Chain A
């Protein structure tokens, strides 16, 4: 019974995420068209769309990763269906509150909502700030319950040492920790840590809001908390996707299952440390931040690439190189997604070099690299899972005809839309400008080119959606 309920709620997650994704991409295209001066939005409308786009995207790809991990975790341990339902309800309510704050209340402090901007906005409704903070509270509570529930269930079966796969540092371990459990555990700890930082951040916002001027926050502390939360959750959602790949890549390819070895255990234990300290690179341009933390920011950002490349990416190479495997849309999306993740990572490592950051920070280079490892990386990890999930309970296997078309459009649209960002970044064009000053004559044409290619990407997503939604609805409405 439990697995049928899990199957049904997972299909609700898949459909919800894809619908919200389509809306959010559309907002992104409208923003690029406005920057291209093809359409004309007021700055407040542009920036409230920017806020909606950023937060919705982070939220949906986080829950997509969590839903996939929750679904697959059932293979190893019993998970809580109630926690999954709570997360779904809180996510839907939280997103509706967020959209009310941004679309109706015109809240427009961007996904970073850097203190004290939410208190000093012009052109937004007075109630919008409180509703925005409340929406994040609702989302945070729902996700915290879900994450803690999954971690608790892991620890019911595995000891802490086993969940971290420490026994694999010795020869011939008696208990094997599956890579999926290890990565999920490492990721959930990071998720819980950054959600707790979000709780502290929100409490400090509320304290100032309700103290009516008697309590004032420290801007540097608030910025550190914001990026610890924001950077970490954006990174962890990628790792949720990697947990899915470790579990499914070999399976859908018809190859032996990946096993935890000493170097896999070592890599992921170190990943936890690096991912929790890399966020300092967001504060390089705050020279009052202690220098030691700035250096840690660059070192952690560089070192994070070692376990990623040496273990995960190399494992994919080993699995594929000169090996006859069954290619399907699922593992093709995983494989292309890994390439996108690597290329976005290269852009990120370049930007995380302090001496480069001084000429790249808050230019279009930033959306360039994070859109690469999200739109062409993490999103493809989740789409790969969605496709695999939708075909699990379907007898109709006539689904492959869209594979080539979907992938071709995804690649053309994705690469074109990203290059417009990279060239813009190298041309010193600022990010988050509703329209560009005349100093940057190439900015508007590049934005229009970006919007055009993003539309091709959107068409690929629409084809993908129409390819799988019926199968997901069938799972949802099948008799239990």
Chain B
């Protein structure tokens, strides 16, 4: 009876492939998906029976999970360098899609989606990933970004998709690009002075007082709210000029209201109106206490009072249903992804791989911080999904594909000889000491002893 060993049945490539696969990331991903589906099930029960479309969300999300896993597997099979090679065309196609949405009919009053009849595709989600790939591919063999002017091209590459997405309008997704750029540039080794300088300028610009005349087109309520958020106002030639932070001056009134609702969330009056969504979110999140309400109770009907509970505010549902335990579990699962993701970024010597891994992590990180912060009142409310948990096909599939890329990098740990990329030292590195008898302070007798015999013979 011949002994059958499993690994003998596997082709050598597959065995290698599976050996370097980062299983904890996959496990965390699948667990998060399960939590997401359960949370969507909870939120779905809250919605009214006559609100069509809400009752099929869980089924759809399960299908999206399947698609996401498919995308994940698909991405891991293709060597990631191949994906890098098509970074530019991929980005171009994405930009085309982002432009295309403007020619399609509006859905839910914005140009965010492409209606494929079976599902809505959100090009901005795809843009996130293709942008990271492009950025990593562009930066991989350069070091010009260690000068100030070299930062210009990456910034331009960022601003193009950002502007298009901002125009959709989708403020949340477009804002995601900036922290991603920041982290990738940081990891790629841009200079501290440049990074901090840029950050400083950004902060100054963010809070720069900009005059804005109150006009007759604004309603009295709008003028009152804008006045409340302004630093000061000036009367000049019979017109009132409000000096408020630059982004506030550019914002629409509904965004102003959100900002106001966020800044003054302690004010009961404001919380009941402008900050309503936030107040509900905090209430539902907080009501979960440590272990959640547990079980399926009639209390779920209260979630009805939280708009967007299945997408942007899914974390509140998690908190309400499973309490601190559930929330902490979710954050820890993300932590697992970050930990093993960073491991991949470290063991990979390939410059493209390193930047790509960091890019993927940065984009996940920004989404999580903004989304979770927003449900807890730490961040202003912007439309932003929670990766792997929120309802939505595009988001889920793209995030799975991103994790696929991450795992892919880990599977193909290239063995490089030579300097590890981006490991610049602060001081100018010394030229390597000549190896051999001419070296300073060389110990001839030791050299002789350690020298392989073949070398010795050649001498």
The answer to whether A and B assemble together is no
Q: Which residues of B contact A (CB under 8 A)?
A: none
